[in-house]
Amino acid sequence: MAIWLAATRLCARSTPKKPAGLGRHILPRCYSTRPHETINVQGASFVRDSKTNVPASIISKLPQRLYMKPEHPLGILRTLIEGHFPNFTTANSLSPIVSVFKNFDELGFPHDHPGRNITDSYYINSTTMLRTHTSAHEIEVFRQGADKWLLTADVYRRDEIDASHYPVFHQVEGARTFDVSEDMDALAEENARLAEKLASANIIIEDDTQVTPQNPYQNVHDPAHAALVTENLKSSLNSLILSIFGARANATKEEPLRVRWIEAYFPFTSPSYEVEVFFQGKWLEILGCGVVKQATLDQSGIENRIGWAFGLGLERIAMVLFSIPDIRLFWSEDPRFLEQFTPGKITAFRSYSRFPPCYKDVSFWTSDQVKFHENDLCDVVRDTAGDLVEDVKLIDEFVNPKTQRKSLCYRINYRSMDRCAQQRPSSYPYRGPPEPDLLLYSYRSLSNEEVNEIQSRVVAKLVEKFAIEPR
Ligand code: FA5
Ligand code: MG
């Protein structure tokens, strides 16, 4: 299931002001109370409106393009994947600023899909957003005519804060299409070859998936063709996983690499699947995929073709392959991180410092007037403290039975990854224009006073934006 489909923390937002003529408080969120101002994103100016919710800390990530750095773990992994699919056209420079239409509507996302919620996605305004997945470019790339392609890019989602979640991550999208009247015999032969190779490899593929009315072949497809394409999708991805994980996973005869296929749902594929890999004692979801909805190919002007597509997360795989314990490290500019990696090689990361954590709790009454969502707190925290925060957890929640007021207590865990006795480089960590909050960074060890100061800024912003009442 797409990650957004599992989202449960959905709620509407409101600002402190009541709209004229409406008897309820539902108004867009607080970031957006200045409708006539503009927001500048990568040199372009956009009119803010009620949906604008991209903070400066996120905008500062757009130019970084970590996946294009040959010596960066994300760049190394992208190159490895592109090497596995040598005949695929690559697209690596597509702008993360896309229309809402392209990210959602064009791919058949229903209007009430949770991913569209402003608590889950970053909107520049009502019509323009930061892409939440690389699938946003599927139709555009299919239209360019390549029948096999890979596309790597940064994607943006509002999310919680912990060691495996970051509001910016990277995906590789891949797709392949076939001419229904010409390619099917060759496809059957290719499938047989791939199956033979996988059968002799040290890999266990657990696949109990069925084609069912809930996850069907599409009516417009000849079931025999859809079966061939599905088989090709599965073999192609199993082969990719074997080549990425096979050596690193130290698969032995006794403990071969294990891959598990699960039925899934995406609005733009059918049948759809997710794939998990068993690594260091846990199942790790690494990708979503499926047979592309024919409507998507029709809109791309390739009506006579049938095809598959997948989207995989680079960070999840890179954390495993390079033994990187915290997703924030991918954004580190500390030479002690960057100098550990060599283009083309997978090497295990050696931890260079582990500063002690320092946690601060914030307890408050939420406002009746302004809706509060945990992702709001996470954005405020990231905007104020940047990557100094390791995680944010709700540790207490209750409703006063007399007043019905709700109290929440969050624990914000501050821990620097990179600090050492050095001056702050002028570019660290924010490359855009100076922003007072982000200047709180330094390369020194993180002191209690400094954390107190950051924490009081976080609380002040929560009061300002969400009318909370500290307890
Ligand atoms: C998608 O994003 C679909 N666009 C994938 C797809 C493409 C399906 C083409 C069908 C055809 P999902 O939300 O599950 O699906 O994300 C895909 C992968 O991105 C996940 O398997 C995971 O590896 C990675 N991913 C998702 N959310 C996060 C996150 N918060 N942090 C790190 N990686 C993530
Ligand atoms: Mg998923």
Per-residue pLDDT of the chain (471 residues; tens, 9 = 90+): 333 433 222 222 223 332 332 233 333 444 444 545 999 999 999 999 999 999 999 999 999 999 999 999 999 999 999 999 999 999 999 999 999 999 999 999 999 999 999 999 999 999 999 999 999 999 999 999 999 999 999 999 998 888 888 999 999 999 999 999 999 999 999 999 999 999 998 889 999 999 999 999 999 999 999 999 999 999 999 999 999 987 665 556 667 889 999 999 999 999 999 999 887 788 889 999 999 999 999 999 999 999 999 999 999 899 988 989 889 999 998 888 999 999 999 999 998 766 778 899 999 999 988 889 999 999 999 999 888 888 999 999 999 999 999 999 999 999 887 753 233 333 334 344 433 333 333 344 678 888 999 999 999 999 999 999 999
Of the ligands numbered here, which is closest to the C-alpha atom of 137? Answer: 1
d(CA 132, ligand 2 centre) in Å: 12
DSSP state, residue 118: T
pLDDT of residue 36: 58
Nearest CA among 132, 125, 111, 159 for reference residue 53: 125
Place of tokens 């957004």: 4
d(CA 285, ligand 2 centre) in Å: 7
d(Cα 348, Cα 341) in Å, to the nearest integer?
9
* CATH 3.40.50.970 assigned to 41-339: no
Give start-end residues of each CATH 3.30.70.380 domain in the chain: 358-470
* Per-residue tokens: 469: 């009442």
d(CA 467, ligand 1 centre) in Å: 34
Burial status of residue 393 (CB atoms within 10 A of its CB: 0-12, 13-18, 19 or more): middle
Nearest-atom index, ligand 1, CA of 135:
4
The neighbourhood of ligand 2, an ion, using CB within 5 A, equals 3, 288
Nearest CA among 356, 348, 291 for reference residue 325: 348
Give start-end residues of each CATH 3.30.930.10 domain in the chain: 41-339
Question: Is the Cβ atom of 311 under 6 angstroms away from ligand 1?
Answer: yes
Of the ligands numbered here, which is closest to the C-alpha atom of 311? Answer: 1
CATH topology of domain 358-470: Alpha-Beta Plaits (3.30.70)
Q: SS3 string of 196-257?
A: HHHHCCCEEEEECCCCECCECCCCCCCHHHHHHHHHHHHHHHHHHHHHHHHHHCCCCCCCCE
Give the closest residue (by CA) to ligand 1 atom 24.
313
pLDDT of residue 448: 85
Question: Is the Cβ atom of 270 under 6 angstroms away from ligand 1?
Answer: no
- Which backbone phi and psi does 322 adopt, to 5 degrees? -100, 5
pLDDT of residue 3: 38
